[in-house]
């Protein structure tokens, strides 16, 4: 459940009529204390029709930066349940354009990608586009380490929705979608140019965020197919990247020693060793994340068994 919009702010335009935007689409950016990332992201969006920054009561300069860059700021108050942040924004806000682009504050829209998007959204046969992420971690671009991701980030308004994998959620699992994916009605395809993803978080902040993510992952794993619905992406080894990753997690997470195996897969088989010290740290963090998920699954099962014994 969520509260209504609290505030909406936009930089002054001086009363002059705006020229037609180069990219007639709406960008939605979920944030919480992203002052260190947000300006770079917003400065890459000067040619976009409108930008909404969905804030969760930041205590740094996030809101001031968003307003100074001309973004519309909306406060989101999460009280658990569904929808979460980005789906709530798509359901609630008066979006002006027919296409939506979902970005994170640490992502940058390049000139080449903007030009490709401009052409892509004119294709009447396609309703959604996958965009790759070019990952930068601890100041270095990760060319290996299994750090290549595709996200269905661009789609027609009203034809794309996040799958809901867990109805009973709370703020300990983050107030935005974690590994839920957008499901689009109609044809989709991949774009050629990537978004640039700059992870400049301190490792302390990185660990804090992924602690929330592992809370969510453990609950999803434990509940399995209890809340299965037709809109949920189904695991499939020969499907999309998202389906394949989900299939591997389902069959791999339960194996003894899977966190160590996952680290070795990333660091050795996916050549993370060639990404230097940032690659080592990234791959190790991925393995630790796997361990946290397994430990929390064990904890949740133990709590359930204790409740059963008491009754």
Query: Which CATH number describes the domain made up of 8-310?
Result: 3.90.550
pLDDT tens, position by position, 25-74: 999 999 999 999 999 999 999 999 999 999 999 999 999 999 999 999 99
What average pLDDT does range 105-109 have in this prediction? 95
Where in the chain are the domains? 8-310
pLDDT tens, position by position, 141-182: 999 999 988 999 999 999 999 999 888 888 888 899 988 899
pLDDT tens, position by position, 224-233: 645 555 567 8
φ/ψ of 158, rounded to 5, equals 90, -10
Instruction: Please state, in angstroms and rounded to a whole number, the distance separating the CA atoms of residues 77 and 64.
Output: 19
Instruction: Please state, in angstroms and rounded to a whole number, the distance separating the CA atoms of residues 113 and 23.
Output: 11
Nearest Cα to Cα of residue 169 among 159, 161, 179, 160: 179
DSSP H helices in the chain? 35-43, 62-68, 85-92, 111-120, 203-223, 241-252, 258-264, 276-310
Give, as one character, the DSSP assignment of residue 2: B
Q: What mean pLDDT is reported for the chain?
A: 88
């Amino acid at each position: 459940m969520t509260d209504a919009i609290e505030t909406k702010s936009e930089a002054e335009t001086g009363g002059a009529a705006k020229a037609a935007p180069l990219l007639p689409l709406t960008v939605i950016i979920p944030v919480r204390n992203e002052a260190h990332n947000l300006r770079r992201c917003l400065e890459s969006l000067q040619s976009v029709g409108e930008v909404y920054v969905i804030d969760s009561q930041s205590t740094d300069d996030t809101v001031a930066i968003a307003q100074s860059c001309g973004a519309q700021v909306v406060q989101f108050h999460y009280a658990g349940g569904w929808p979460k942040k980005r789906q709530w924004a798509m359901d609630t806000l008066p979006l002006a354009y027919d296409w939506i682009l979902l970005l994170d504050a640490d992502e940058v829209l390049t000139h080449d990608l903007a030009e490709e998007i401009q052409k892509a959204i004119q294709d009447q046969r396609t309703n959604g586009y996958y965009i790759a992420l070019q990952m930068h971690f601890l100041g270095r671009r990760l060319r290996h380490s299994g750090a290549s991701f595709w996200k269905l980030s661009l789609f027609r308004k009203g034809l794309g929705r996040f799958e809901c994998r867990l109805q009973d959620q709370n703020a300990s699992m983050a107030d935005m979608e974690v590994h839920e994916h957008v499901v689009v009605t109609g044809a989709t395809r991949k774009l050629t140019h990537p978004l640039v993803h700059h992870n400049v978080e301190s490792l302390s902040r990185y660990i804090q965020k992924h602690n929330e993510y592992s809370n969510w992952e453990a609950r999803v794993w434990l509940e399995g197919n209890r809340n299965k619905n037709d809109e949920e992406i189904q695991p499939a080894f020969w499907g999309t990247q998202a389906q394949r990753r989900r299939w591997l997690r389902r069959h791999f997470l339960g194996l003894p020693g899977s966190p160590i195996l996952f680290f070795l897969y990333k660091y050795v088989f996916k050549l993370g060793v060639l990404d230097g010290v940032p690659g080592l740290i990234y791959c190790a963090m991925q393995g630790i994340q796997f361990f946290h998920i397994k430990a929390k699954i064990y904890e949740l099962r133990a709590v359930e068994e204790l409740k059963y014994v008491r009754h």
